C-alpha cells in the first residue's frame, strides 16, 4: 500500500511507476508536493510563484484527458521563471517585470504539458538568468538545503533547491553557461546540459552563439534521463523535429542507458580551464577530492583513464565576455526602467549595447574556432572528466552585488569548467560522488561527444552506484 504522505521519499522514476500503476493519482501527487512547498518552500527560497488551485485543476485534467502513454504523465514539476506560462506571472527575477503576466506559453512549457506533466508554479531565478547564483532584491535567495547559509547556485537555483529539499521530484532548467550544472552540483544533484539541438523546445540554435539549452535537474541519473526523454519527445519516440540531434547509436530514449549503466569507456581527465589566463583559478581541496574519488571509482570499474595536457586558450575570456554582454543587450528593458535593474545586469546591458558590431562578429568567429578545437581535443575520449565546481558552494551574499567586473570574476573563479561546454555545444552531466567533512555533497562533471548523452548516462549511473551515497537527505528534508 502506497503511503501518499511519503511520496517525496520516492525517486521520480518510482513515483512515475506508482502513477502508471494507478496506486497514486496525479491529484494526490500534486497535493502532496504542494503541501511540502507550503511548509518548506520559504526556508529554501525555491519558488517565485505557486498556484495550488491551477495545479490541482491541471492534475485532474491530466487524469481525465491525457493518455498514460505520455512520458511524464501526472508528474509534478515547475517552470523556471524565465519560461512563460500563459496566465501565470513571469518576473524573470527582476523588479522591472514585477507585474508581467504573459498571454502565451513558451514552447518548453507547452512541451512539458504535452508530455503530461503537472506544473506547480515557477522556480526562482536570478535577474534574467545572468548570474551563477540565485539572489537579488526581486526574489528571496535560493538556499542550499544542505546548509541554509549557502547559496543554491544559479541560474536554475530555485529548481535545484526545490528538488534537493524534496519539494519536487525533478525540474526542468536552462543552461547558457552552466545554469543547470552549477546549482545541481551545489545542491548534490544530477544536472544534465544536453547537446546543442537535442531538446527541440530548448535547442540553443536560436540563442546567440548557440549557448542556451534546456535540460533536467534531478536526484538520480535515471530521474534525469526520464525527464530528458520527456523534453526531447513529449509524444513518444521517435522524435520528429527538424532540429533534434541524432547521433548514430546514441539516440534516445535515455532512460534505458541510465538504468543499465553498462559499458567500458575511455575517459580523459581535464583540470585546466579556458579561463586560466583571465584570473587565478584554484581548485579547492574539496573539489579536488571529489575529482580524485571519481577517478578512483572509474578506474576500479575498468575504464581507461588518461590525464589531458593543458591547452591554453588566451582569447577565450575576451570572446566569451563579449558574447555574454551582447546577449544581455537584448533584455527588453529601456529608458528609465533600466534603473530598476540590478548593478550586474545593468553593467552587462550597458556594455552589451555599447559593443561594436565588429567586436561581436570577431568574438563569434573566435568561439566557432574554439568549438572545433575543443571537439578535436576531446576526440580520443568517450567522455572527459572535470571538477563540477572549483570551490565549495558559496555563502549567500558572497558575490559583490555592486561591482559588475568583480562579480563576473567571482563567478568565473567559482565555476570555470562549465561555460566552454556551452560554447562547444557538447552534452555534460554533473554527478555527486563525495562530501566534505561537514557533509556537503561535492560532484564532478562528465562531458560527452556531440550527441553523446547515452554514454554520459551510462557513466553517470556507474559513478552513482559506485559512490554508494544512498538516499542521503539534507537537514531541511
DSSP H/E element including 203: none
CA distance 142 to 371: 33
CA distance 413 to 268: 22
The neighbour count for residue 373, using CB atoms within 10 Å, is 13
Unique residue bearing C-alpha cell 565549495: 392
Residue 441's φ and ψ, nearest 5 degrees, are -65, 145
CA-based nearest residue to 415, from 437, 387, 435: 387
Would the CA dihedral through 228, 230, 231, 237 be positive or negative? positive
Please compute, for residue 157, the number of CA atoms within 13 A of its CA located in the half-sphere on the CB side. Answer: 34
Please compute, for residue 208, the number of CA atoms within 13 A of its CA located in the half-sphere on the CB side. Answer: 19
Q: What are the E-state strand segments in 194-292? A: 213-218, 266-269
Grid cell locating 447: 562531458
Please give the C-alpha separations between residue 162 and each of 5, 25, 312, 407, in angstroms, as whole numbers.
18, 21, 38, 25
DSSP H/E element including 349: helix 343-353
Burial class of 234 by CB neighbour count within 10 A (0 to 12, 13 to 18, 19+) = buried
Catalytic residues: 80, 155, 179
Grid cell locating 52: 495550488
CA distance 14 to 97: 38
CA distance 468 to 433: 8
Instruction: Give the rounded distance of the alpha carbon of 126 from its chain centre.
Output: 14
- List all residues 6 or more positions away from 119 whose beta carbon is below 8 Å from its beta carbon: 55, 58, 77, 78, 79, 85, 109, 112, 113
Grid cell locating 22: 494507478
Instruction: Please confirm whether the linkage preceding 253 is cis (ω < 30° from 0).
Output: yes
Segments in 45-77 forming alpha helices (H): 52-65
CB 26 within 8 A of CB 63: yes
CA distance 387 to 297: 15
Amino acid at each position: 500500500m502506497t503511503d501518499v504522505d511519503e511520496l517525496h521519499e520516492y525517486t521520480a522514476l518510482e513515483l512515475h511507476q506508482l502513477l502508471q500503476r494507478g496506486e497514486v493519482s496525479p491529484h494526490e501527487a500534486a497535493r502532496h508536493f504542494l503541501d511540502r512547498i507550503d511548509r518548506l518552500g520559504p526556508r529554501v527560497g525555491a519558488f517565485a510563484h505557486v498556484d495550488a488551485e491551477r495545479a490541482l485543476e491541471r492534475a485532474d485534467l491530466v487524469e481525465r484527458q491525457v493518455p498514460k502513454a505520455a512520458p511524464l504523465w501526472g508528474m509534478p514539476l515547475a517552470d523556471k521563471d524565465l519560461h512563460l506560462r500563459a496566465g501565470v506571472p513571469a518576473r524573470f527575477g527582476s523588479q522591472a517585470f514585477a507585474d508581467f503576466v504573459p498571454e502565451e506559453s513558451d514552447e518548453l512549457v507547452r512541451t512539458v504539458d504535452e508530455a503530461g506533466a503537472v506544473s506547480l508554479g515557477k522556480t526562482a531565478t536570478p535577474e534574467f538568468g545572468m548570474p551563477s547564483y540565485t539572489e537579488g532584491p526581486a526574489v528571496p535567495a535560493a538556499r542550499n538545503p544542505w546548509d541554509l547559509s549557502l547559496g543554491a547556485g544559479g541560474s536554475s537555483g530555485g529548481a535545484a533547491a526545490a528538488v534537493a529539499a524534496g519539494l519536487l521530484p525533478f525540474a526542468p532548467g536552462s543552461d547558457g553557461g552552466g545554469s543547470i550544472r552549477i546549482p545541481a552540483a551545489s545542491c548534490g544533484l544530477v544536472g544534465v546540459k544536453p547537446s546543442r539541438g537535442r531538446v527541440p523546445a530548448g535547442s540553443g540554435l536560436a540563442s546567440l552563439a548557440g549557448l542556451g539549452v534546456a535540460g533536467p535537474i534531478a536526484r538520480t541519473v535515471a530521474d534525469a534521463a526520464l525527464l530528458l526523454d520527456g523534453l526531447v519527445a513529449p509524444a513518444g519516440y521517435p522524435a520528429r523535429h527538424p532540429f533534434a540531434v541524432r547521433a548514430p547509436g546514441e539516440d534516445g530514449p535515455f532512460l534505458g542507458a541510465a538504468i543499465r549503466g553498462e559499458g567500458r569507456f575511455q575517459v580523459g581527465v581535464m583540470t585546466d580551464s579556458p579561463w586560466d589566463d583571465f584570473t587565478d583559478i584554484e581548485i579547492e581541496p574539496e573539489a579536488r577530492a571529489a575529482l580524485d574519488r571519481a577517478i578512483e571509482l572509474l578506474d576500479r570499474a575498468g575504464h581507461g583513464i588518461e590525464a589531458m595536457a593543458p591547452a591554453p586558450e588566451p582569447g577565450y575570456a575576451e570572446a566569451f565576455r563579449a558574447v555574454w554582454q551582447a546577449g544581455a543587450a537584448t533584455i527588453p528593458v529601456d529608458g528609465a526602467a533600466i534603473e530598476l535593474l540590478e548593478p550586474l545586469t545593468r553593467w552587462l546591458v550597458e556594455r552589451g549595447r555599447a559593443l561594436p558590431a565588429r567586436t561581436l562578429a570577431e568574438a563569434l568567429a573566435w568561439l566557432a574556432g574554439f568549438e572545433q578545437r575543443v571537439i578535436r581535443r576531446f576526440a580520443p575520449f568517450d567522455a572527459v572528466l572535470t571538477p563540477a565546481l572549483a570551490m565549495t558552494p558559496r555563502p549567500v551574499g558572497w558575490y559583490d552585488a555592486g561591482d559588475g567586473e568583480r562579480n563576473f570574476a567571482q563567478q568565473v573563479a567559482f565555476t570555470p569548467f562549465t561555460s566552454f561546454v556551452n560554447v562547444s555545444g557538447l552534452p555534460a552531466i554533473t554527478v555527486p560522488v563525495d562530501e566534505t567533512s561537514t557533509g556537503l555533497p561535492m560532484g564532478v562533471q562528465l562531458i560527452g561527444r556531440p550527441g553523446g548523452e547515452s554514454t554520459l548516462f551510462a557513466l553517470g549511473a556507474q559513478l552513482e552506484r559506485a559512490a554508494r551515497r544512498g538516499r542521503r537527505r539534507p537537514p531541511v528534508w
